[in-house]
A = this chain, B = another copy of it.
Amino acid sequence: MNLKELAHQLGLSPTTVSRALNGYPEVNEATRERVMAAAKRFNYRPNSRAQRLATGRALAIGHVIPIASKHEMVNPVFADFIAGAGETYSRNGYDMVLSVVPDNEEEAAYRELKARGSVDGVIVHGPRMDDPRVRLLAEIGLPFVVHGRASGSQTPYSWLDVNNRRAFRRATDFLLDLGHRRIALINGLEFMDFAMRRRIGFTEALEARGLTPAPELLSSAEMTEGRGHAMAAGMLALPEPPTAFLVASMISGMGVRRAVEERGLRIGRDVSIIIHDDDLSYMKNGEDVPIYTATRSSVREAGRQAAEMLLSIIAEPSGEPQTRLLEADLIIGQSTGPAPAASARPVPAHART
């Protein structure tokens, strides 16, 4: 059933039917209801291909996922973000198109999306400092929102980010309050904007108490289980090993856990661990409490909001760049039960920056 047929059934012109269905104000309400009813009855759905051509809009948002090696794992945080964004798109009648491309073809992928008109905008993932994609997208005129920030970019741009610096500062403070003095940071690669901010938050917390970060306890590498393991194992073999770890991701966190286990240490008794972006972390020193910083469900919420931001930019292309900074969750609860609800226990004062 297409528009012409439906119009014919109703004894109306396709024009009127189209207007009725799309909520144009000039249609008689009685007519509109008749059209709506018939559309439902005949199970009419406008052909999206025709709609897209006629309107000149793609009704789709792109997400470009660069893949470095054939065996690299997809970041699970990315999956959560995508899920959140997808919800927003569905609600607004947009499609989400994912482009998986080798990372040296990322720029070409954006140009292609623009040239072929297959999307109305894109969300940029995993920005680096002064990320070249910001300039590129502004240049080719493809609307975009950055998930994260690209510090140092000359081009103004819209972004949505989690306050990584504060999250890591708070987590570090928490460990310091428990008496830890040898705290290790297992960070991501620090040309990534978020990783750089996390390190700043970490060192800020130490310096605020007159402590100097020990260089041998500061590490930065890809967030894989293998790298997390290697970094933690190396530190645990030091003459003065760390008593606590602050880890940047669930995946490297798994490696850290393994390194600790292998050394015969018990997490929560001999060593405290806080893992960011995970839904369960180990942080104990006499008390049996897990601590989350950004939880995975908050990543989902970030996806939702970033998508909303992008849709509003597309609707109002002339507007100023929009920015939004989300605070990461910081949740305390019992580690032996199921994952606690956000409100299970208030965040203690000392855990707030």
- Which residues of A line the B interface, CB within 8 A? 43, 45-50, 52-53, 56, 58, 60, 65, 67, 70-71, 73-76, 78-80, 82-83, 86-87, 89-90, 95-101, 112, 115-118, 225-226, 229-230, 233, 254, 257-258, 261-262, 264, 266-268, 279-280, 282, 296-297, 300, 335-336, 338-339
Cβ contacts under 8 Å, A258 to chain B? 280, 282, 335
Cβ contacts under 8 Å, A75 to chain B? 79
Q: Would you call B67 and A87 a contact (CB within 8 A)?
A: yes
Q: How far is the CA of A264 from the CA of B116 in the complex (A)?
A: 59
Cβ contacts under 8 Å, A297 to chain B? 70-71, 73
| A-B contacts, 28 listed (Cβ < 8 Å) | A43-B115, A45-B112, A45-B116, A48-B116, A48-B118, A49-B52, A49-B56, A50-B53, A52-B53, A53-B53, A67-B83, A70-B297, A71-B300, A73-B296, A74-B79, A82-B98, A83-B100, A86-B99, A90-B100, A90-B101, A95-B118, A97-B98, A98-B98, A225-B279, A254-B254, A254-B280, A258-B280, A262-B336
Beyond the given pairs A45-B115, A52-B52, A67-B83, 19 more chain A to chain B contacts, judged by CB atoms under 8 angstroms and listed by A's residue number, are: A43-B115, A48-B118, A49-B118, A50-B53, A53-B53, A65-B83, A71-B297, A71-B300, A73-B279, A82-B100, A90-B100, A95-B99, A95-B118, A226-B339, A229-B338, A257-B261, A258-B335, A261-B267, A261-B268
Known A83-B65, A266-B261: A48·B230 in contact at CB below 8 Å = no
Q: Would you call B82 and A117 a contact (CB within 8 A)?
A: no
Q: Would you call A49 and B45 a contact (CB within 8 A)?
A: no
Q: How far is the CA of A49 from the CA of B60 in the complex (A)?
A: 11
A56 CB → nearest B CB, Å? 8
Q: How far is the CA of A47 from the CA of B264 in the complex (A)?
A: 61
Q: How far is the CA of A233 from the CA of B49 in the complex (A)?
A: 54
Q: Would you call B98 and A96 a contact (CB within 8 A)?
A: yes
Cβ contacts under 8 Å, A52 to chain B? 49, 52-53
Known A74-B79, A267-B261: A339·B67 in contact at CB below 8 Å = no
Q: How far is the CA of A262 from the CA of B98 in the complex (A)?
A: 41
Cβ contacts under 8 Å, A80 to chain B? 73-74
A29 CB → nearest B CB, Å? 26
Name the residue on B nearest A304 (C-beta): B70
